[in-house]
Amino acid sequence: MTLVQNHQLPLSGNKYWLICMAGILLSACSPKIKPVTKKPEVPKEVKVPEKTVSRFSEANIALLVPFRLNEIKLKTAVKADVEKAAMAIDFYQGFKLGVDSAAAVAGQNFKLKVFDTRDSNTQIEGIIENGGLIGTNLIVGPVYPDGLKYMTNYSVTKGIPVVNPLAASQPAEFNNPNLISIVNNIDLHARKIGDYVTRTYNPATTVVVLINPKSASDEVMGAPLRQYFSAKPNFQFQEYGSVFTLETKLQKGKKYVILLSSSDRKFVVPTLDKLMKMKRVGLDELLFGHPDWVKQNYNTDQLQALNTYVTSSYKVDYTRSEVNVFIKQYRALFNFEPGEYAFKGFDIGFYFGKLLAQHGQSYLKHLTKDKYKGLHNTFSFVHDNALGYINTSLMLLHYKNFALNVVE
């Protein structure tokens, strides 16, 4: 049974679809479908203890996202105003579709409560004080770090797990043992690169070079890379502020693994140009770039020629049948294409929906056991008593045949 109308939204750019969102702060029950199961017969002489699962009669999920409907005046809104809410709506629609799909597969009723946080701690405080989160089994959001920090006290006091769905922040920033971190923090990216390099290349013939301009943003990735290779004394490790300095230090007969910690386009573009010139005069190297490069559209010919790798938390494979089924369902329901956040929302909604349905009150105990290959990423959680649950699954992508291909 669905208590909330599943409004179809017109094509992007039409401001009046926001009217449909005015009723978003409501509850919804997903349809309940009971799978047919048959108990195997057990010989009388064998006593098998029954494993009972305390299932939810109705699993309660709260979704907190910044629609910011209060900032939009429907009569005068232009496209730019509407787009402020686009991320939240895209994520919500994907998430709702994921929960509904889990309901159909697992035969579980869900009550989904959706709140507009307005990206304001005052608004979050009001949601808490008004009892909006009472009876909730899982909270998804807020999506920004400040809101997640504000939610910590409530989460710890009430013992309710909180999913950090989009922020790539360090779990230590939140001091919440009930936090579930979906997006990989930068330390995990550095470790993924380091593990691949040390496993693949011969330390006797390899020089690992970190190119790090050392601005605050560059150090976010530079510091964990430095820390990783500093603990690998069998590898020769060097660090320079630019490739121009590296050019004067080259050693003949060595394979160079170049780690570039910057995502500043003004620095990256000339660096790639210089590496191409160095390659033409005999530099034997491969390049590991910043995760943000995936979205920055650098010269693909250069990235391929430089044998470039990047790490990423997600990649949508449009050749998979599951992906195309989702796209068709999304189009049919909402009349436009799913964006990045719709894929993210679906994976989170479907995974946690199934987890709640299958394991009931004890679902957290299975978080580190139940792996998941989603539409755009995978979940493989580890547990830390202080930091909560951390998704460690991360992809290494390689520029080859003018495409980004998953290496591992």
* Within this chain, domains 15-35+54-183+317-393 and 186-312 share the same CATH topology: yes
Instruction: Determine the topology of domain 15-35+54-183+317-393 in CATH.
Output: Rossmann fold (3.40.50)
CATH of domain 186-312: 3.40.50.2300
72: pLDDT confidence band, cut at 50, 70 and 90? confident
- What average pLDDT does the structure give for the chain? 87
CA pair distance 85, 16, nearest whole angstrom = 13
The residues spanned by each domain of the chain are 15-35+54-183+317-393, 186-312
Give the model's pLDDT for residue 48.
45
Q: Which residue has the tokens 């098998």?
A: 48
CA pair distance 115, 49, nearest whole angstrom = 43
75: pLDDT confidence band, cut at 50, 70 and 90? low
Give the model's pLDDT for residue 31.
39
pTM as predicted: 0.86
41: pLDDT confidence band, cut at 50, 70 and 90? very low
Average pLDDT for 93-121: 95
C-beta separation of 314 from 343 below 8 A: yes
